[in-house]
Structure formats: C-alpha cells, structure tokens
Amino acid sequence: MLLVEDDASIREVATLGLEQSGLRVTAVGDGREGLDRFRQGDVDLVVLDVMLPSLDGFEVCREIRRESQAPIVMLTARSELHDVVVGLELGADDYVTKPFELPELVARVKAVLRRAAPTGDGGTINVAGLEIDPDGFTARKRGEELQLTATEFRLLLELARRPKQVFTRELLLELVWNYDYLGDSRLVDAAVQRLRAKVEDDPKQPALIKTVRGVGYRFAAGT
C-alpha cells in the first residue's frame, strides 16, 4: 500500500504501525511523488493526507480515480467538515480524522482491504439488467463491465442481494464499511451518489437505487 503524508513523524509512525499489522507500506511525503509512485503500479490501497505540498490530497485522489478503482482512505481534519465531503465526492472509500489512534487507522485500512477482496460467497446475481458476480468481483450492465470501486461494488451487492428491502444508512455502514456504531452517514450518501452515476441511466432520476426519505435506500428490481 501507499501512504502519502507530509509530516515525517506521522509518516514514520503510521508506516511502523501498518507494517506491524502485516502490510507492505511505501511512504512518501509529497503529492506529486505519491501520484508518480502510484502510477508505477503494485499499489492495492492508498492512504492520503489532504494537506500536501506540490499537489494536495484532493488532486491526487481525483487523478487516481481517473485511472484506477484502487481503495483510497483520506486523512482529514475533523474541524474541516468540508474536507470530508469533498474527499468522499471525489471517490475516497473512507476517511480517518486527525488526531487518530494508530489502531483506528489500521482497522479502517483493513476494513477497506477486506472490502476489496473477493467474497467467495454466493453465485452471480442477475437483476434489473445487471449481472453481479461476487466471486469475480465484477458487475456488468447489459453485458458491459462497470468500473466500480470495492466500496461501490459491495454497496451494490448488498442492496441487490435483497431487492425491495429498505436499508438504513446505519445498516449499510455496518455491512459495507464495518462500522459497528455511529459511523458517518455521509459515507453512505456519497457512495450512493457515485454508484448511481455509474449504474443508472439517468443518475438524477434513479430507477435502480431509490432513496427512501428519512430512512435510507432500497434496490428497485424489475421495474
């Protein structure tokens, strides 16, 4: 995995912590360098600070999303609520706010990686013109493969597995993001927006992923 963080102490201690939990970490302190390193390949996950010299975290996130569906975890300041929303809209899978506990970062990173690993449960789901293959980790719409991130794929899978069931944001946070208690519902809303942009014919008038006002979301199958 790739860690892009400009503060040397945080970079080193986070690297140590992530390596102790069995991950292979490449750490750089600069946005441009981080993007270059990502483009050399062999990166399964990116942890990205927002405030970076030369190219900020949002730009790096945008560039990575342009060419890859690799999981991204943003490091943001909680006092900048705006940062969280922007990061999620740009396609980050999750975020950790500074100051954070090392185990918290490790847990978030592992949760995202777990999401990106094939589940191996259940066969292919065919619903509403979509073909979702949990083993192959692919989704097709009318035979054409959709470019989904792990988070978007999991979200689509959970919704499509039980069409017509209403999922609260809390339940989706638990199923997809592995938050057991009081996660940030904006994670769900941002991911649903991104998923709609890729799955729906008209994202502004979603036919597949419906909003249930005041409750959550549901998958509308066969309509």
Smallest gap, in angstroms, from Cβ of residue 198 to another protein?
26
Distance CA 19, CA 26 (A): 10
C-beta of 206: minimal distance to another protein in Å?
22
Cβ at position 17, least distance to another protein in Å? 6
| Given 16, 166, 197, 212, the residue binding another protein (CB under 8 A) | 16
Contacts from 91-95 at CB under 8 Å and sequence distance 24+?
Answer: 91/61, 91/62, 91/65, 91/149, 91/194, 92/48, 92/61, 93/149, 93/150, 93/151, 93/191, 94/151, 94/177, 94/187, 95/184, 95/187
> What binding mask, one character per residue, do residues 133-172 give for another protein by CB under 8 A, x or -?
----------------------------------------
Q: Does 79 bind another protein (CB under 8 A)?
A: yes
Given 32, 62, 65, 98, the residue binding another protein (CB under 8 A): 98
Which among 182, 177, 204 is positioned nearest to 193, based on CA atoms? 204
53 binds another protein (CB under 8 A): no
> How far does Cα 195 stand from its chain's mean position?
11
Residues touching another protein, count (CB under 8 A): 22
CA dihedral (121, 200, 216, 166) positive or negative: negative
State yes or no: residue 189 binds another protein (CB under 8 A): no
Binding stretches for another protein (CB under 8 A):
7, 9-10, 13-14, 16-17, 20, 77-79, 81, 98-103, 181-182, 185, 214
